[in-house]
Structure 1
């Protein structure tokens, strides 16, 4: 490996030396303006020796004399004629790298013209290449001029859409190789934007914000001769406001063909203020409030006043709203005329332009429904580049109140009750009559029937719609009465144009209250539709009859008492009803647990004698409960093979149903009986359940174990005549979730899980069950419960199910272990950092050992002369 690196270094050195030293300066000539700064770079490459090279600068003047200007190594190198400028820093050489410098001359003078040579003293082992390079500098006089003849510029304050032009003069003395450019800019605050530029090659270029307007000819640059340049802006926009600046530039082209700016001057030509059309746009509706009769013609004018009206086109839209402050969203559009005077209206409503600033709305055959607040919206459009238009202004007039009067019909409404009920289910008949009718020619009358439920005087009342007739005499029933009207139990008829009748064939107790009718008058419009013009309501008519509320008395009697498990329990429920008309009864058997915490529905029988199991869902005992109807008002409930878990308080819940019209049944009243207790003389031992957890706080991914311990009181431990159903669940703030269970035969049921954790249940002792939660996660946090149902074996070998008991909850918390989660990433990061450090040290050692050589030492000034050939 060592021989390989030595060979590579020797070949590289020979290749570099074969190229030879190269010194470079920019290609000339360099043309600069008197008084400006100039920077001439110089760099050397392909040299041997130390990496930092020295440079000398010489000037060969036009007279042929050679002047020493400045050096990076020898301060005495500078001629006396340049010492003051070098000492003051006006002339300086600055390093930009170890092998490159720049010669900087501030405020260059005409006498600085000449050929500048950059020399590099030799540090090479052999002479090869060039050791100096020369570039010509031409310093010309500052002849660039730019001015603004304000007397010939048309600027100042103008209106949006107007035109303006600005002028400036720019010139320079004719010097070979220099070219003139002129740029117009607009300054807004601290920022400037280019508008148009006349480039040094004679081409015109537009700024990014003015490109489209320049192509459309709206913005242009004109050459008027004698160095006068004019900027013309047609159809001024509000964004054209600002201070306009004329910038003149002097350019030269280098050997590569690229343009370089050597001098630039600017002058403020003038400030332009653009007044937006929106600030001068005024719109108004000429007339004041208007009142006219129906079928008349409404005429309104909208007047527009604005500055520069010749450059703007007007779009007009008319609206009518319900209130003076109504906007377009809540108003009705009447007619629209666009900026090209194209009208989108109808035969009855149109708009026309009567003068340059006035439009007229014509609304023929107005109706009462056309009453409202009329206003017009005006939009001013201005032309812009590309034959397009933009919205320059938008205003809305104040509204004008237009009232359309109509002779309304006058009439009165009388409500009477030809037939009233004396008992529930009797018919009711109401008659609504229209009297004292005037001005009703061509008017159509319809009716609406309403019911008001009796309420105390201090409470608000509400009205229910029974049915209504629309303008076409079509019947529409209220939501609460749709079924009765549809079945014909409520009948509405129209006896003649002024008499309406309501019939309730079977009056219910819930129909007791007050009734009234409302008669509506409808007028036909010109489009043959109907519009409601008036509503008149009758007085309230009460419909009542004497009524006593129905009642029930339910008595439960035990027929067979229960003293031990396996006996039959029987209970009779006797029903006594009062103030009920042809009732039928439905029965529900309920049981209340001895603790009083829970009420469970066992079995029910409908009024049609259809029985149904409610919450009795024990698969092996579905046929052990029976509910029978022994008479119209008596029911028997039996339970065969009672178990200890059946202990509790049993009672009957009876509902009385009475018939309605159409053989439908409605609930009249309900009652519950007294409670009958099922108890057992000897229920066996007592039980209690407790939970024990190995820990209450775990980290994600760990396993936690919770033990459910059953304690038996009153029986010897380890007996074989007791078995258990065990169920685990976890509860959070809003719900309880079943986890796993094990029945008395040892069969386990596991609920499906959505997360990554898992749980298992095992019996570790005769009365100890362990729940294990593996790979815990944050969703496993909560209160854990253990529910136990004991089963006791009787002397005859049968099993009795006891009451379910539940443990107190155990709260399990899942914490996030910050240190544990960061342990492995930190170890891996430290190991990676150590490996990278060792690798860096190895690379450094190899480079220092094989790839580097000692730098040349000695007097740098002594090495300035060429080395003797004998040194080779």
Structure 2
């Protein structure tokens, strides 16, 4: 009987919640419930994960007779977060509610009530999923405006959302689920306490971006001050972000353009996390983005993010976001307050738009040989502070002769000198310039190339090339430059005195040249000039061309066709008397036998030393400082044919070989004949016996 009365009481309670707005039903149900005998269920141990407001225990045990227990199966269960929950006034409240163990439709209804602390336990209807007229007056306007609403996560999960908490929203919240079960059993509602604490989150900036263009590679520092003064145990996190600017999100498929990007953040546990895009992660790993915390006064600290070298994609609107976090009783951390502060707009100007490389001299420069040559390169439009490394190169194309003012067409551009970002200077192919010139930085952005004594070979069109490594003071040798620009060309013409030179090669008269003998060649050089001059002689050899015989023609020496082959250097006698030999195994020597005659000797000549020999003469002049330079005046002699005949010993070897071969042949024939006849005669005598 007691169990039956208890079930009836549960059904009556459910009916009461379904018709809470009817005063007649309320009075009738109250009278009926008061007239029924009741036996309270045994106490239920508290659930460690959820706060339950139970009309009936999930599992009740009833004793009908001594020693007999009646087990009642658990039914519906309503779940809310474990309380007490602390939330901040003016910020959202989200309370998820779930129901399990129910019967009926998979989509359940939810109704929310508030029991304010100052209302003596009176119940206030907030919002319902099935009744639009459910809200009480304190919440009616807020529900209609959408500030207070229910959002479904699924059919049996929903959450109460209060967009902006008010101090009088503090109290105990109840989530009630109207019954769809065949019998009334389990929990139909649950409650959780919510404390509304005051908003003490502060955020400010020390310097605002003005939107003025900043050159690519410049250093940018953004600061944001934030703090919170709360009696509760809360933590603070800071995030710096950017809107717009055309950055590409590295974490989205297809490289989708993201308008909102997180640059770097400091989480509630003081851990630094770079932005989610691949670009920001790489720049953080490379040390190009840094975040630091500076302790302040009154709990308000300063947070500074530094971008060592801004890039064009860094253009956009920057902001700082401060969030207040609190641990809930279930151990999870919840964001309870958040403020965003706009720092300002940034425009990054590309180096290709701001950088300028110019030369102080322009057009044509004419100098006498031996005069000093000075060229200056000016670099402007770079970020101040010297945060970017520069590679400065002086390049030269072609050469100029006489009074010419343009470079020879098709000239190859070569490097004269370079200064690396670390200040080290190196010279191009002409290493002698290391002692006869200098490349130095005179002032910030000004680089001067000096040749102490200009030579005719220094003629040409000069350009200054500057490569910028934005934000990298000392880049790796293999690192790619951010941008490279060249100056306009400067034509440099070295005026030289007129030099005339001729060269004649000859083979002195003498016996026929034979293999193993010494071959002597002479080169007579005539130089007409003013001032001191020296001659440098180079001997070259080409192979003797083979005769070419066409069909139906007789071999004729006159039919020899020239064969274009690269000559092989044999030896050089430099202008300062040094000999350089390029031998193929033969012994070679060069010397100067008179003022105008230069000699080449090939000792113990072999067949490989045969060929067409020419001598090349180059004239070197002396500048006013005493240095020698190549005047570019040169001459080449006609070819001299060197043919080696066989020696007498080689000629005697031929009949000797023929005679020995003939005698050997005759001997073999005689022996064979005698042997053959003797064997036949011996064979005839044997049968006679």
- Given the two structures, how large is their TM-score scaled by the length of structure 1? 0.44
Q: Structure 2 vs 1, CA of residues 284 and 637 (structure 1 numbering), >3 Å: closer, same or farther?
A: farther
Q: Structure 2 vs 1, CA of residues 330 and 145 (structure 1 numbering), >3 Å: closer, same or farther?
A: same
Partners of 2:420 and 2:107 lie apart in 1 by 82
1:783-837: per-residue Cα shift (whole Å, max 9, x none)?
xxxxxxxxxxxxxxxxxxxxxxxxxxxxxxxxxxxxxxxxxxxxxxxxxxxxxxx
1:412-444: per-residue Cα shift (whole Å, max 9, x none)?
334556648999999998864526443484524
Q: Does 1:184 align with 2:240?
A: yes
Aligned twin of 1:443: 534
Aligned twin of 2:174: 116
1:586-609: per-residue Cα shift (whole Å, max 9, x none)?
9xxxxxxxxxxxxxxxxxxx9897
Partners of 1:262 and 1:464 lie apart in 2 by 85
Aligned twin of 1:469: 571
Counterpart selection for 2:635 from 526, 530, 536: 536
Partners of 1:423 and 1:461 lie apart in 2 by 24
Contact 2:241 2:262 in 1 (8 A): yes
What are the within-5 Å matches in structure 2 for residues 167-246 of structure 1?
A: 183-188=239-244, 189=246, 190-195=258-263, 207-208=274-275, 209=280, 237-238=310-311, 239-246=313-320
Partners of 1:509 and 1:236 lie apart in 2 by 69
Q: Does 1:358 align with 2:446?
A: yes
Distance apart, 1:186 and its partner CA: 0.8
1:285-343: per-residue Cα shift (whole Å, max 9, x none)?
2224334334332222122222554556774644354547999x97345363756x676
Q: Which moved more, 1:528-537 or 1:252-261?
A: 528-537
Partners of 2:592 and 2:473 lie apart in 1 by 71
Counterpart selection for 1:498 from 596, 601, 604: 596
Q: Does 1:61 align with 2:115?
A: yes
Contact 1:415 1:541 in 2 (8 A): yes
Q: Structure 2 vs 1, CA of residues 607 and 405 (structure 1 numbering), >3 Å: closer, same or farther?
A: farther
Counterpart selection for 1:334 from 417, 427, 431: 417
What are the within-5 Å matches in structure 2 for residues 257-336 of structure 1?
A: 257-262=331-336, 270-277=344-351, 279-288=353-362, 289-306=364-381, 308-309=383-384, 315=390, 317-323=392-398, 331-334=414-417, 336=419
Aligned twin of 2:81: 26
Q: Does 1:518 align with 2:615?
A: yes
Q: Which sections of structure 1, spanning at least 5 residues, go unmatched? A: 1-16, 548-579, 587-605, 611-626, 639-872
What are the within-5 Å matches in structure 2 for residues 415-434 of structure 1?
A: 415=505, 419=509, 432-434=522-524
Distance apart, 1:241 and its partner CA: 1.8
Partners of 2:505 and 2:473 lie apart in 1 by 75
Contact 1:162 1:235 in 2 (8 A): yes
What are the within-5 Å matches in structure 2 for residues 663-812 of structure 1?
A: none
Ranked by relative contact order (alpha carbons within 8 Å, sequence separation 6 or more), the top structure is: 2
Count of matched residue positions in the alignment of Structure 1 and Structure 2: 525
Aligned twin of 1:672: none
Q: Secondary structure at the match of 2:134?
A: helix
Q: Structure 2 vs 1, CA of residues 325 and 265 (structure 1 numbering), >3 Å: closer, same or farther?
A: farther
Partners of 2:214 and 2:285 lie apart in 1 by 22
Q: Structure 2 vs 1, CA of residues 608 and 139 (structure 1 numbering), >3 Å: closer, same or farther?
A: farther
Q: Secondary structure at the match of 1:295?
A: coil
Q: Structure 2 vs 1, CA of residues 631 and 142 (structure 1 numbering), >3 Å: closer, same or farther?
A: farther
Q: Does 1:349 align with 2:437?
A: yes
Aligned twin of 1:255: 329
Q: Structure 2 vs 1, CA of residues 512 and 81 (structure 1 numbering), >3 Å: closer, same or farther?
A: closer
Contact 2:465 2:487 in 1 (8 A): yes
Q: Structure 2 vs 1, CA of residues 424 and 443 (structure 1 numbering), >3 Å: closer, same or farther?
A: closer
Q: Secondary structure at the match of 1:517?
A: strand
1:227-254: per-residue Cα shift (whole Å, max 9, x none)?
9999776766125322223546565541
Q: Does 1:157 align with 2:248?
A: no
CA RMSD of aligned residues (A): 6.8
Partners of 2:636 and 2:445 lie apart in 1 by 52
Q: Structure 2 vs 1, CA of residues 387 and 264 (structure 1 numbering), >3 Å: closer, same or farther?
A: farther
Q: Secondary structure at the match of 2:347?
A: strand
Aligned twin of 2:59: none
Aligned twin of 1:397: 487
Q: Secondary structure at the match of 1:300?
A: strand
Aligned twin of 1:714: none
Q: Structure 2 vs 1, CA of residues 292 and 144 (structure 1 numbering), >3 Å: closer, same or farther?
A: same
Contact 1:53 1:120 in 2 (8 A): no
Distance apart, 1:223 and its partner CA: 8.3
Contact 1:144 1:265 in 2 (8 A): no
Q: Structure 2 vs 1, CA of residues 358 and 135 (structure 1 numbering), >3 Å: closer, same or farther?
A: same
Partners of 1:254 and 1:519 lie apart in 2 by 95
Partners of 2:534 and 2:220 lie apart in 1 by 64
Distance apart, 1:273 and its partner CA: 0.7
Q: Structure 2 vs 1, CA of residues 365 and 636 (structure 1 numbering), >3 Å: closer, same or farther?
A: farther
Aligned twin of 2:14: none
Partners of 1:373 and 1:393 lie apart in 2 by 23
Distance apart, 1:27 and its partner CA: 0.9
Q: Structure 2 vs 1, CA of residues 192 and 90 (structure 1 numbering), >3 Å: closer, same or farther?
A: closer
Partners of 2:626 and 2:96 lie apart in 1 by 91
Distance apart, 1:224 and its partner CA: 10
Structure with the bigger percentage of strand: 1
Contact 1:421 1:427 in 2 (8 A): no
Q: Which sections of structure 2, spanning at least 5 residues, go unmatched? A: 1-70, 247-257, 399-406, 428-433, 549-558, 673-689
Contact 2:469 2:475 in 1 (8 A): no
Counterpart selection for 1:136 from 162, 174, 192: 192
Q: Structure 2 vs 1, CA of residues 145 and 219 (structure 1 numbering), >3 Å: closer, same or farther?
A: closer
Q: Structure 2 vs 1, CA of residues 142 and 370 (structure 1 numbering), >3 Å: closer, same or farther?
A: same
Aligned twin of 1:574: none
Partners of 2:397 and 2:98 lie apart in 1 by 84
Aligned twin of 1:102: 157
Contact 2:80 2:192 in 1 (8 A): no
Partners of 1:200 and 1:325 lie apart in 2 by 69
Q: Structure 2 vs 1, CA of residues 179 and 474 (structure 1 numbering), >3 Å: closer, same or farther?
A: closer
- Given the two structures, how large is their TM-score scaled by the length of structure 2? 0.53
Q: Which moved more, 1:270-279 or 1:148-157?
A: 148-157
Q: Secondary structure at the match of 2:394?
A: strand
Q: Secondary structure at the match of 2:210?
A: coil
Q: Secondary structure at the match of 1:630?
A: helix
